[in-house]
DNA sequence: TTACACTGAAAATATTGGTTTCCAATTAGT
DNA sequence: ACTAATTGGAAACCAATATTTTCAGTGTAA
């Protein structure tokens, strides 16, 4: 018999509509990380992302307005990962400033040192794309600076450094480390320092910047 | 009488072919600075640059292979401007480290603080454009780091700081200051610190990083 | 079993800008 | 005056992608 009202099953292959959408989004984000992080955002087409994610372009446009939106989501997700890493670092009972800072640096850079694609998306691919993304980047960078400031407050409270840096210091720190990381990623793996060495060097610069030395 | 061989005047409106080409290139570079520096490289078409430079697209393709080449030239030119500014700074007889560094910072950031378009092209618009430009950027950044190192050697030689920084320090410095500048440029002019204040803050961070304070 | 929801794949369209070609006007040299 | 060089501007062409639509196959609920 013919129902004279629309049927709304919602279920499909045993899963809810919402779940299915989430799943597709996850696949798209994975594909985006892979493609944007290796070939670059500019060199990636909607078609390619969809193919890599095994999602139809049709579905793509049901989930995102355009590729820019996908990039933005990926950017925000990766950023949250880093922010979480910074926030979640245990303020372990470090003996001195250097080891405390090293732990912090290792936590913050962890995701990007582990997975270069993340570094590339986070620091290269989102630049100069759109007005909206530039704004997002500005805000995010400030959030990051705030997180760094908070971390240093903790270290200062533990008496390991004289005073937490303020003003432009954390911003310069973030930009600087970012640049160091970009240079590292753009260097052939064969001629890079080890991760540990890299973290050590970065930590030393930071300690000097935030140490007890007074400008004269 | 009809010459049965091609004439090669070369002159046009009183100027040599080469001169005319140079002139067109100059106009194109001016237009590129204006458009890339305000609307952004991605939002600028060949047509727009040509129109703004009062050069025909026809001539454009006689002078450059494509827009990427124009951007690259502009980038290299602007960079040389900054490098020259750093190199040409007089190692004035500064009384202390802070004022010596301030002079250096003022010289290096001068062009970009004066003309925001330059800052934008130099730091934002060239990112993520092409493989070739990424390589160029990597090399340029290293040249810049070398120039900074040289400047600090001078300051150290004058006995104003204990030792010139080395390793990642100058790289982090450059990236950090760049980020600070980007944030500044992307901030509404009404809520920015003054240029002098900005330079002062940056100089203080540098002095701390390179000062006599020892990590502990 | 029937009407309709859901899906991926592919086809059809629309946009956008790059690139080349053509044209009319101007200038150089003889 | 005459031929060829030079130029800017417009038009013509093209290529690549984004975006929308269609289609055929499946699953769902009554």
- B157-193 pLDDT per residue, tens: 888 887 777 889 999 999 999 999 999 998 999 999 9
Residues A96 and A128 in one domain: yes
Q: Determine what percent of chain A falls in helix, strand and coil, rounding each to the nearest 5.
A: 70, 0, 30
Residues A177 and A129 in one domain: yes
CA quadruple A120, A123, A128, A133: dihedral sign: positive
| Residue tagged 């493609």 (tokens) | A35
Please report residues of A whose CB lies closer than 8 A to that of B213.
208, 211-214
Residues A172 and A81 in one domain: yes
Q: Does A212 have pLDDT greater than 60? A: no
Residues A89 and A19 in one domain: no
A12 or B190, which is more confident?
Answer: B190
Please report residues of B whose CB lies closer than 8 A to that of A186.
134, 138
Residues B17 and B36 in one domain: yes
* A72-75 long-range Cβ contacts below 8 angstroms, 24+ apart: A72/A132, A72/A133, A72/A136, A73/A29, A74/A29, A74/A32, A74/A33, A74/A36, A74/A121, A75/A121, A75/A122, A75/A126, A75/A133, A75/A136, A75/A137, A75/A140
Residues A115 and A40 in one domain: no
Residues B145 and B115 in one domain: yes
Nucleotides, chain C, CB distance < 7 Å: 1-11, 17-22, 27-30
Give the model's pLDDT for residue B207: 87
Residues B95 and B22 in one domain: no
| Domain assignment present for B56 | yes
B41 falls in which pLDDT band (50, 70, 90)? very high
Domain interval for residue A56 = 8-64
Give the model's pLDDT for residue B1: 45
Give the model's pLDDT for residue B121: 97
* Average pLDDT, integer, range B98-117: 92
Q: pLDDT tens, A142-187?
A: 999 999 998 888 888 888 887 788 889 999 999 999 999 999 998 9
Nucleotides, chain D, CB distance < 7 Å: 2-11, 17-22, 27-30
What is the CATH number for A191?
Answer: 1.10.357.10
CB contact (8 A) between residue A176 and residue B180: no
Residue B127 to residue A127: CA distance in whole angstroms: 6
| Residue tagged 């990007």 (tokens) | A112
Residue B137 to residue A13: CA distance in whole angstroms: 50
Residues B59 and B120 in one domain: no
- Residue B21 CA and nucleotide D5 C1' are separated, in Å, by 15
Give the model's pLDDT for residue B4: 45
Q: Which residues is A12 bridged to in the sheet?
A: A15
| Domain assignment present for A3 | no
Q: What is the 3-state secondary structure (H, E, C) of chain B?
A: CCCCCCCCCCCECCECHHHHHHHHHHHHHHHHHHHHHHCCCCCCCHHHHHHHHCCCHHHHHHHCCCHHHHHHHHHHHHHHHHHHHHHHCCCCCCCCHHHHHHHHHHHHHHHHHHCHHHHHHHHHHCCCCCHHHHHHHHHHHHHHHHHHHHHHHHHHHCCCCCCCCCCHHHHHHHHHHHHHHHHHHCCCHHHCCCHHHHHHHHHHHHHHHHCCCCCC
Q: pLDDT tens, B191-213?
A: 999 999 999 999 999 988 876 43
- Cα radius of gyration rounded to whole Å, chain B: 22
Give the model's pLDDT for residue A182: 92
Please report residues of B whose CB lies closer than 8 A to that of A183.
138, 141-142, 171
Q: Does A213 have pLDDT greater than 50? A: no
Which nucleotide's C1' is closest to B8 (Cα)? D5
| Domain assignment present for B215 | no
Residues B45 and B151 in one domain: no
Instruction: Look at chain B and report how many structural domains it folds into.
Output: 2
What is the CATH number for B24?
Answer: 1.10.10.60
Considering only CA atoms, which of A211, A209, A207, A202 is closest in space to residue A106? A202
Which nucleotide's C1' is closest to A56 (Cα)? C8
- Report the share of chain B in percent with pLDDT over 90: 65
């Amino acid at each position: 018999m013919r129902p004279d009202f629309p049927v709304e099953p919602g279920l499909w292959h045993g899963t809810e509509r919402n779940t299915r959408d989430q799943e597709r989004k996850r696949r798209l984000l994975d594909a985006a990380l892979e493609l944007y992080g290796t070939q670059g955002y500019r060199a990636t087409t909607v078609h390619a992302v969809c193919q890599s994610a095994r999602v139809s372009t049709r579905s793509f446009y049901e989930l995102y307005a355009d590729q820019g939106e996908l990039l933005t989501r990926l950017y925000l997700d990766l950023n949250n990962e880093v922010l979480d890493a910074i926030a979640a670092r245990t303020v372990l009972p470090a003996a001195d400033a250097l080891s405390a800072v090293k732990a912090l640096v290792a936590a913050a850079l962890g995701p990007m040192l582990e997975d270069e694609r993340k570094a590339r998306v986070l620091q290269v691919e989102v630049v100069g794309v759109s007005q909206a993304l530039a704004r997002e980047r500005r805000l995010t960078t400030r959030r990051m600076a705030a997180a760094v400031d908070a971390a240093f407050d903790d270290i200062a409270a533990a008496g390991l450094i004289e005073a937490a840096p303020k003003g432009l210091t954390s911003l310069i720190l973030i930009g600087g480390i970012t640049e160091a990381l970009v240079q590292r990623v753009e260097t052939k793996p064969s001629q890079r320092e080890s991760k540990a060495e890299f973290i050590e060097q970065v930590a030393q610069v930071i300690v000097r910047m935030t140490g007890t030395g007074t400008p004269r």
